Amino acid sequence: MTNAAKLWGRVQEELRTASERTRKGAERAVRTGVLQVDLVSLRRDKNRAQANLGERVLALWSQGNLDSLTTDPEVLRTRALVQTIDERIAAKEAELTSLRAPAPDAADRHEQSPDPDRTGMEGS
């Protein structure tokens, strides 16, 4: 009777462990997807801001007023926006890289040799 109880205890523990790994894997996959969508959106926003900056510079150049590039409020605002977006992109890329790195506990599991008592395959 104790062997049956041990077996069911091991089965329950394996199910809990597998369920936990699956849940963590799903959370990681969702977070990775969200970050990828955020990066696409940020890159699109950056391209739009750079296009607006280029239009403004062209307008100033057409007016013969390129000297005001360093003082033009629209140019300064757009350059600050591009810089802010660059910083957000870098932060999201770093987070995505850290999510893609293997989890430390997964590396530990692969390094450990299987315990024959744990797997129930003593005679194989």
Per-residue model confidence as pLDDT tens for the chain (124 residues)? 678 788 888 888 888 899 899 999 899 999 999 999 999 999 999 999 999 999 999 999 999 888 888 899 999 999 999 999 999 999 999 999 998 887 665 545 545 444 444 444 444 3
Residue 82 lies in a domain: yes
SS3 content of the chain, % helix, strand, coil (to 5): 85, 0, 15
What is the count of structural domains for the chain?
A: 1
Residue 92 lies in a domain: yes
Instruction: Check: pTM over 0.85? Answer yes or no.
Output: no
Residue 78 lies in a domain: yes
Domain around 66: 2-100
Residue 94 lies in a domain: yes
Residue 118 lies in a domain: no
Using DSSP's 3-state secondary structure scheme, residue 124 falls into coil
Taken in order 87, 92, 95, 97, is the CA torsion positive or negative?
Answer: negative
Residue 110 lies in a domain: no
Residue 7 lies in a domain: yes
Residue 116 lies in a domain: no
